[in-house]
Amino acid sequence: MAIGLLLWLLLAKGLALEGAVGVTFSSRLVHRFSEEAKVHLASRGNGSVLQSWPKRNSTEYFRLLLRSDVTRQRMRLGSQYETLYPSEGGQTFFFGDMLYWLHYTWIDIGTPNVSFLVALDAGSDMLWVPCDCIECASLSAGNYNVLDRDLGQYTPSLSNTSRHLPCGHKLCDQRSVCKGSKDPCPYIVQYVSANTSTSGYLFEDKLHLASDGRHSVRNSVQASIILGCGRKQTGNYLQGAAPDGVLGLGPGNISVPSLLAKAGLIRNSFSICLDENESGRIIFGDQGHATQHSTPFLPMHGEFITYIVGVESFCVGSLCLKETRFQALIDSGSSFTYLPNEVYQKVVKEFDKQVNATRIALFQSTWEYCYNASSQDLSNIPPLELTFSRNQRFLIQNPIYIDPASQEQGYTAFCFPVSPSDGDEYATIGQKFLMGYRMVFDRENLRFGWSRWNCQDRASFSSPSIGGSPNPLPANQQQSVPDARVVPPAIAGHTSPKPSAATPGLTYRHSLVSFLLMFHLWLWLSC
């Protein structure tokens, strides 16, 4: 509070001098624990602050100064680590229909650590793994011919760092069914897929991560996280989807990215890079490269509870279709893409018109538009592109699904892997359309970023990144916005573009004074 008042004094004095002296600026520097600062705070009625005012050169005096230095250094650094990744490397894996078309990564949990192959899901918040199972999928590698080792099961009693999350904890959503505040917190998560859910109890434990330090030294990090002990799964989770658990990456307070950022370990951001060769990488704290494209996240019913973006139009070939504007969930946990029905009809009909192949009814296909193709037909597939605000374009690198069974029988069949969504309010952009990009979920600046990247080169993720906002929203404010019709973050707060907004001379003087003010503040903070 004291520092904030002194900054306001310096700012007021600088602006007052602006009109009188033009391009000169001067101010006195006031120590935060000086008698002058004490008198000023007393005049402002801050008696509670003065009661704990340290005596000059006392132990408390130097302790407070040291604490201020540490805080300031952390502010300059932004976070303890530039990036973090799962201790087994952060590489992602894709196993096709054997594991429900999802992307996975290996993570280690507990002490001693146990490995889990978890599905990456940006559409949910919970990290859960099979645990003390009542009803779980098989964990034997023999049931999944794409795996080279058995899957793990979490047993809380075997981890030295495991403990129940009590019902009285602020992150326990099911406390209404608890008998007491110290009881273990139960959880249940229902997913969009029919009758698919996980339930059990919440635990606190250690997630094993790593960071590349200076001179390529690898640092090991154990981060406290909250996970679901998934005792009972239903639906797709018993039929091959995420048999070893799900890593929820959503904006909710309980998700792993949120907990890592709140602990000051990373910036409030992460990236998923999905190669076209069906592998990739996940990096926590990554805010992307300075040259990446980006578009703002939009609130859903007034809150930033999931990763929604606004699509201006859907382009097929060189034609951007009219009246194809929609809002879409960016969801790595969905295999394919679902469009509002009216948009879907326009897109598939235009694709069908432009594609040079014979349409067929493909047996057991969930998609309406499938084709019999030659190698020449495949090379003439019309490009697909999403356009966002400010003419930001997202070229879909792999727009079709080739049926492997047809190739085994000596011909090639492909489908346009897009379906109409059940509701018309939101679309879902699934991982098939996201492949080929380093996708950045910048929760600190409420933006989705993308760029073409070599996902296998982990060192390249330390390239110069986009800086955070000068005044990022606190975590609790990022989660709640009072009006769903608020101006997108990319536009809010900008000055008027009209010439009458400011005269050229005033704009120049104000910029120079602002620079001098910031320079003086830097000197003051360094004292």
Active site (catalytic) residues: 121, 331
Handedness of CA 337, 338, 343, 348 (dihedral sign): positive
Helix, strand, coil distribution of the chain in percent, nearest 5 = 30, 30, 40
Closest to 375 measured CA to CA, from 348, 433, 416, 414: 414
Distances (CA, A) of 76 to 94, 267, 435, 478: 38, 12, 34, 21
Half-sphere exposure of 25 (CA within 13 A, CB side): 23
Closest to 191 measured CA to CA, from 151, 248, 243: 248
Neighbours of 504 (CB within 10 A): 8
Closest to 287 measured CA to CA, from 430, 463, 119: 463
Distance CA 222, CA 228 (A): 18
Q: Are 438 and 451 in contact (CB under 8 A)?
A: yes
Distance CA 368, CA 239 (A): 25
Q: Are 146 and 354 in contact (CB under 8 A)?
A: no
Any idea what DSSP says for residue 397? Answer: S
The maximal CA–CA distance of the chain, rounded, in angstroms, is 88
Distance CA 290, CA 65 (A): 36
Q: What token pair was written down for 464?
A: 């110069």
Distances (CA, A) of 499 to 331, 387, 391, 503, 505: 42, 30, 24, 8, 13
Distance CA 100, CA 110 (A): 27
Q: Are 380 and 356 in contact (CB under 8 A)?
A: yes
Q: What are phi and psi of 183, to 5 degrees?
A: -70, 155
Q: Are 98 and 145 in contact (CB under 8 A)?
A: yes
Any idea what DSSP says for residue 34? Answer: S
Instruction: Using DSSP bridges, classify how beta strands 437-442 and 269-274 pair: parallel, antiparallel or unpaired.
Output: antiparallel
Q: Are 415 and 370 in contact (CB under 8 A)?
A: yes
Handedness of CA 131, 205, 237, 422 (dihedral sign): positive
Neighbours of 289 (CB within 10 A): 18
